[in-house]
Amino acid sequence: MDDPRGQPPASDGISLAAAEWNAGRRAFHRSPHGSARGPVCGMGVCHECRTTVDGQPHVRTCGRSARPDTRIGDVATAWYKLPRGGAQRRKPDAVTHFPSVAVLGAGPAGLTAAVHAAEAGASVLLLDENPRPGGQIWRCDHATGAPPPAHDMHRRAYDAGVSTLVGARVVHAGPPTRLFALDADDRVHDIRAEDVVLATGARELLLPFPGWTLPGVMGAGGLQALAKNGLDVRDRRIVVAGSGPLLLAVAAALRERGGRILAIVEQAPRRRVLGLGPRLLAHPSKLARGLKLTHALRGVRRLYSSWIVSADGSSDDGESLASIDVHTPGGSESIPCDLVAYGCGLVPQTEVAQSLGCRLESGAIGVDQDQRTSVDHVFAAGEVCGVAGLDAALVEGAIAGLAAAGRTAAASGLRRRRDRERRFARTFLAAWTLDDRLRALPTDDTIVCRCEDVPFGAVRFHTDPRDAKLRTRCGMGPCQGRMCGPALRWILGWRLDTVRPPYSPVPLEALATIGACVQAR
């Protein structure tokens, strides 16, 4: 699986999710109570783009490439047919890896960590569940490949001898540093590294509003990711809504691809966001990026102190998005649209860290000045240590990579830059603090747990996620609370729920293989 040229592998074509969307499919599967669901997160978290593919149920279509002969099951009767009975096939063996440093996550932070560790002489394995490295911001485009800075980093990784394992998601981890990953062919990889760098990034926070489960309401970064994988946005009427700087990046990217951005609906007050301008003067590269975005978005309608209060389906089937209602300071307004790119901020993906026992601070992995977590031999870098953007991810990755390779002295020179980036991020992001009124967005019958169709009214009086899960099924679905959990933590003040293997759904036989590996140690 190592890439011979030090380049991201050439395009596998567009994703199945994109191809199906382009062909007009809106209902990829049905929720337990029968409502139509389509892709949301674009990154394997939400499980809403699942459908039956070539007779196999529950296939996530956003992570699989479209092939001409693919058969998509009928959603209404999406139940499976597997070869039944028969003899048991032998369990496939696991592939074992012994790198000195394993880096989990090939986004900017992970790639940089891998490069620095390898350049310092460590043998490095870099793994990621995406079919191609790059993470979120450096995600490859199906047609044009990786963006230029990512290219440079890939080249350096190749030159430094980094091995990569892509299309492999870590589904189980055992103390102190053992990782188990499942690749695209469902083969188990047993990764026994001396040191681990966790660079698992963040996912989007979507606060539920009535109608948010309609196909066509997607994550902001989610729609961007789907578009990079081939979802055609040309001439689509798109509203970008929620909060944070990511909305601007997404709007610009979708516009560049031919989407018609009807409005950017930001919940933060205009005064607070525009007040950030002067701060950028001290950060010329960020200022340049900001100006570029402003230019790219000229003429686009910008609403502040505004948010979506509901979405409505089309009159013919009621199952795909037709319009949204937006609360604005001037009153409410209805906007007909084809797509909504929605995100209320980012949430660190801490599952692997939690199960390795790393201490968390405010929902992110806590690290020391060398990016060391509370667990020996486990480092962390990037958004998983707290949302702070690309520049922080890059410098943290460098520190973590050097430190994991035992070069703390070299890493110490980078601390000041890292601290500066973190400080900047803290004050910068404070401008987008969520308005308390967003807690009132879901009504009693708004579905908050998409996987299990649990309405807000069923959970609103619960104070603990475990009680709510046991009594209402909220958080019990295939995403294991990754979608509903962060939203309800913010709305209801719930604690972070515990993590149990597998971190994402795996075939039963893979769990058995992992158990056998654990014994073999």
Partner 1 sequence: MSCPDVIVVGGGIVGAACAKALADDGQRVVVLDQGSCAGGATASAMGHVVVMDDSDAQGALTIWSQTLWDELADELPAGAERETCGTLWVAADERELQRAHTKQEWYADRGVAAELLDGEAVAATEPALRSGLVGALRVPGDSVVYPPVATMWLLKRARDRGATVEEHVPVARVDGRGVELEDGTRREAGAIVLAAGHHALALLPRQLPGVALRARKGHLAITARYPGYLTHQVAELGYLDSAHGHADVSVAFNVQPRATGQVLIGSSRQFGPTTSGVEPLILARMIDHACSWMPSLRRLEVIRSWTGFRAATDDHLPLVGPVPEEVGLWLATGHEGLGITTSLATARLIADGIAGRPSAIDAAPYLPDRPQPELADG
Work out which of 116, 139, 172, 450 binds ligand FES, going by CB under 6 A. 450
Nearer to partner 1, 418 or 482 (CB): 482
HEC string of 412-470 equals HCCHHHHHHHHHHHHHHHHCCCCCHHHHHCCCCCCEEECCCCEEHHHHCCCCCHHHHHH
State the residue for tokens 């729920």: 497
Work out which of 201, 208, 345, 475 binds ligand FES, going by CB under 6 A. 475
Work out which of 123, 130, 243, 513 binds partner 1, going by CB under 8 A. 513
Nearer to ligand FES, 417 or 473 (CB): 473
23 binds partner 1, rule: CB under 8 A: no
Backbone torsion region of residue 473, taken as left when φ is above 0, otherwise alpha when ψ lies between -120 and 50, otherwise beta: left
Instruction: Measure the CA–CA gap between 347 and 498, rounded to whole angstroms.
Output: 16
Q: How many CB atoms lie within 10 A of CB 17?
A: 28
Residue 119 interacts with which of partner 1, ligand FAD, ligand FES, none, CB < 5 to 8 Å by class? none
Nearer to ligand FES, 32 or 275 (CB): 32
Work out which of 449, 458, 459, 491 binds ligand FES, going by CB under 6 A. 449
Instruction: Measure the CA–CA gap between 266 and 308, rounded to whole angstroms.
Output: 9
17 binds ligand FAD, rule: CB under 6 A: no
For 501, list phi and psi in degrees, rounded to 5.
-70, 150
Give the pairing type, strands 364-365 and 378-380.
Answer: unpaired
DSSP string, 172-205: EEETTTEEEEE-TT--EEEEE-SEEEE---EEE-
Instruction: Measure the CA–CA gap between 285 and 289, rounded to whole angstroms.
Output: 6
Instruction: Measure the CA–CA gap between 82 and 75, rounded to whole angstroms.
Output: 17
Q: How far apart are the first and last CA of the chain?
A: 25
x/- mask, ligand FAD, residues 342-381, rule CB under 6 A, reads: ----x--x--x-----------------------------
Instruction: Measure the CA–CA gap between 70 and 63, rounded to whole angstroms.
Output: 14
Number of chain positions touching ligand FAD (CB under 6 A): 39
State the residue for tokens 């103390």: 175
129 binds ligand FAD, rule: CB under 6 A: yes
Find the shortest distance in angstroms from Cβ 62 to partner 1.
16
Sole window of 366-374, 380-388, 472-480, 508-516 interacting with ligand FES (rule: CB under 6 A): 472-480
Residue 79 interacts with which of ligand FAD, ligand FES, partner 1, none, CB < 5 to 8 Å by class? partner 1
Instruction: Measure the CA–CA gap between 268 and 303, rounded to whole angstroms.
Output: 9
40 binds ligand FES, rule: CB under 6 A: no
Nearer to partner 1, 81 or 292 (CB): 81
Find the shortest distance in angstroms from Cβ 390 to ligand FAD.
4
Instruction: Measure the CA–CA gap between 334 and 327, rounded to whole angstroms.
Output: 9
Binding footprint of partner 1 on the chain (CB under 8 A): 32, 57-58, 79-80, 82-89, 91, 172, 174, 464, 466-467, 470-473, 476-478, 480, 500-502, 505-509, 511-516, 518-519
Binding footprint of ligand FES on the chain (CB under 6 A): 449-452, 474-477, 479-481, 483-484
Binding footprint of ligand FAD on the chain (CB under 6 A): 43, 104-110, 127-130, 135-137, 169-170, 199-204, 219, 221-222, 224-225, 246, 249, 346, 349, 352, 382-383, 389-390, 393, 503
